[in-house]
Amino acid sequence: MNILQTPIADLLVIEPKVWKDNRGYFYESYNARILAEAGVDVTFVQDNQSFSQKGTLRGLHAQKAPFAQGKLVRVLQGKVLDVAVDIRKNSPTYGQHYSIELSGENHKQLWVPPGFLHGFLTLEDNTIFTYKVSNYYDKESEIGVIWNDPDLNIEWSREIPEAELLLSEKDLVLSVFKDLKSPF
């Protein structure tokens, strides 16, 4: 497993070593010891999975304490553009985002620690997205920012027109970044 630091502190890309042969492939998708050595010493309490069609945009979400979550995210099938936004008030990268393509082919993962908004856009039909979380879901602790916030200026996709994006009603009415009172 190769752990790579992104331009935003504590946000990590995990590249597993994949063994391929005529039968298919094998890789270790999670190793607590290796992640702990990289500074991710966390107990995961829940696994979540979503199935989405191309153009589904989920996010940008987080949970505040005492239910703040760290997420280890990956794609089992299909492809997404995964985005994390630093909302740690004292961070030198506050308000900055990082995006990465995660797919069932590249097997990359992203560690999104507490203190980040998270979202993703599916770039292929029948995408299966899964993630381990370090705390349980709590509806009252949810916070979020609208996906197309002008201050964040996230380039989601040139391939999928905005009019074709599939969003939940909840995600369509999230507030803008400048109104976020970050609890981190």
Catalytic residue set: 61, 131
**Other CB atoms within 10 Å distance of the CB of residue 6:** 16
Q: Is 35 in contact with 42 (CB distance < 8 Å)? A: yes
Sign of the CA dihedral with 87 first, then 92, 93, and 95 last: positive
Instruction: Give dist(CA 44, CA 57) in Å, integer.
Output: 25
3-state secondary structure of 98: strand
Which residues neighbour 11 within 8 Å (Cβ) at sequence distance 6 or greater? 5, 84, 86, 98, 110, 111, 112, 113, 116
* Rounded-to-integer distance, Cα 176 and Cα 145, Å: 5
* Cα gap 128→153, rounded to integer Å: 26
- C-alpha atoms less than 13 angstroms from C-alpha of 54 in its C-beta half-sphere: 9
